[in-house]
Chain A
Amino acid sequence: MEPQGATTRDFDQEADRRLIRDVAGGSAEALGRLYDRHAGTVFALARRIVPAIEDAEEVVQDVFSQVWRDAARYESSRAPVAGWVAMLARTRAIDRLRARRARPDSGGLGPDATVLPLAASGADPERQAIAATDVQAVRLALGALPAPQRELVELAYFQGLTHTELAERTGTPLGTVKTRLRSALATLRGALSS
């Protein structure tokens, strides 16, 4: 048990895979080691999305509870764990954010309607492999985006805002929002190695 483990950035997918398999077998110790490897990222992501520390802690607990419950199913997909955990963290955090916001302007769609994944999203976890170099490249690409584009990406990713909400929040025409978001994501996607 490494005390500083929670803040260590580690994309060793083989280690993750072994741990997930053990978690699927019911090993609480393996879950603890996954926690040590990924809780720092989950917590950072949660804090960025839901600033209140108690909400962020709830997100961490939610995420690892789901890892525990679904480990067997996930293990069978042999997909990288880091991406899965980050996706869970974002989804859970945005759920909480939306619940807190309790916005009256959700346009008739429930809070879940906009965060539900599309058919193809995550349909092939094998292809969600994210290399450490990719993470670094995307981070740099994000920083290099024109400010209006970066703002949209961050509001969408960290605040869970939809097209319409982005237009309202930034006072930008909807068509411009769509185009800018698309350009921004094309740039980030271009930064991936494959």
Chain B
Amino acid sequence: MTRPDGSDPMAHEAFADALAACAVDALDDAAARAALEVHLASCPECRAELEALRRATTAIGLGLAPEAPPPDLRARTLARATAQPQSQAQVGAAAQVPAQTPARTPPRTPPSEAAGGSSLAPSRRAPTRLPWLVAAAAALLAVAASIYVVLLQREVGALRTLADLTTSRVESLRGELVDLRRQSAELAEIEAVIGAPDVRQAALGAAGASGEASVRAYWSPTQGLVLRARSMPALDAGRVYQLWMVPRAGTPVSAGLLTVQPDGSSSHVTHLPAMEAAAVAITVEPAGGSPGPTSAPVMVGNFN
């Protein structure tokens, strides 16, 4: 059930404990305070209730039997009080001739000044038209805001942790995606070469001891060179397999270094300048490769 003013009667009940605690400044649960602030902003009934509770509690203090302070306190109090500048809330008040011009000393503002319900700088000289109520409301809005800040900071902390976790997950997924894209692109290139109308094949035969290797090359003058290998013998550190295109005439042209996987497989795709290639060969070269073959090929195959 909702009332015409939009307030929910159940809400009053839910805030009753907090409201009572507020009347004696005993509400120490920041979340409850913040929730109450929000509710009060839209609930005149609860505001009126809080004011009534405040009146009741103030009456407790007023109900104490007065106690005469030490006689000399009066003079000390008046001397200290009137030594301070006065705030000026109204043009009318400022226009009155003071019976005694207060000494203008720098304002002495205790840290709890705002707790007394006033927070304007006491030394404000220009008549301010800001009504007391507005000043109080502004000060209290600041209190509410600071409570929200604490609550929000907590939430931000939690979300940041979540975001960090999410970010690292995203990073790892992005890495996987990059790998997949690269593989996909490579497959597309392989497909382009193998499916090209001008493709020619070469089965590389073992030269010497590396007879177990199964290596096949596809050469399309327009699309490039593909080499698929299995069971490539592992090499000593500092040695690499280098691939060569052997033209019908002239010196072999490097077609790059083979990257051999731990299981001995290798997949190599490269684009080369168009040439009349007769064969493809693999040599073992020092790390980084050589400009030209420095040893006899370990495998060689003629294009069909």
Given contacts A64-B78, A88-B116, A134-B55, whether A118 and B22 have CB atoms under 8 Å apart is yes
Task: Please count how many residues in chain B sit with their CB below 8 Å of the partner chain's CB atoms.
Answer: 90
**Looking at the complex, which one of A28, A73, A189 makes contact with B99 (CB distance below 8 Å)?**
A28
B273-292, CB under 8 A of A: which get 1 and which 0?
00000000000000000000
The A interface, classified by DSSP as helix, strand, loop or mixed, is helix
Instruction: Give how many A-B residue pairs fall within 8 Å (CB-CB).
Output: 330
Given contacts A6-B66, A134-B59, A185-B20, whether A127 and B51 have CB atoms under 8 Å apart is yes
**Looking at the complex, which one of B20, B23, B51, B115 makes contact with A124 (CB distance below 8 Å)?**
B51
A185 touching B57, Cβ below 8 Å: yes
- Which residues in B have their C-beta under 8 angstroms from that of A18? none
- Which residues in A have their C-beta under 8 angstroms from that of B272? none
**Looking at the complex, which one of B16, B22, B81 makes contact with A64 (CB distance below 8 Å)?**
B81
Residue of A nearest to B24 (CB): A156
- Which residues in B have their C-beta under 8 angstroms from that of A31? 78, 81-82
- Which residues in B have their C-beta under 8 angstroms from that of A47? 67
Instruction: Give the one of B30, B41, B50, B51 with max A CB within 10 A.
Output: B51
B33 touching A118, Cβ below 8 Å: yes
A15 CB–B CB distance under 8 Å: no
Query: Could you tell me which residues of chain A, from 133 to 156, have a CB within 8 Å of some CB in chain B?
Result: 134-139, 142, 153, 156
Q: Could you give 16 example pairs across A and B, Cβ below 8 Å? A: A43-B73, A64-B78, A69-B118, A72-B90, A72-B94, A87-B117, A112-B115, A118-B27, A121-B51, A124-B47, A125-B132, A130-B62, A137-B59, A162-B28, A165-B28, A181-B24
| B residues whose Cβ falls under 8 Å from a Cβ of A | 16-17, 19-30, 33, 36-37, 40-41, 46-70, 73-74, 76-78, 80-82, 84-90, 93-94, 96-102, 107, 110-118, 120, 122, 131-133, 135-137, 140-141, 143-144
Instruction: A109-B28, A128-B51 are known; give 20 further A-B pairs, CB within 8 A.
Output: A24-B96, A31-B78, A31-B81, A36-B74, A41-B66, A61-B76, A69-B81, A70-B118, A73-B87, A73-B89, A75-B89, A89-B61, A119-B40, A121-B23, A122-B54, A125-B133, A134-B59, A160-B25, A178-B17, A189-B52
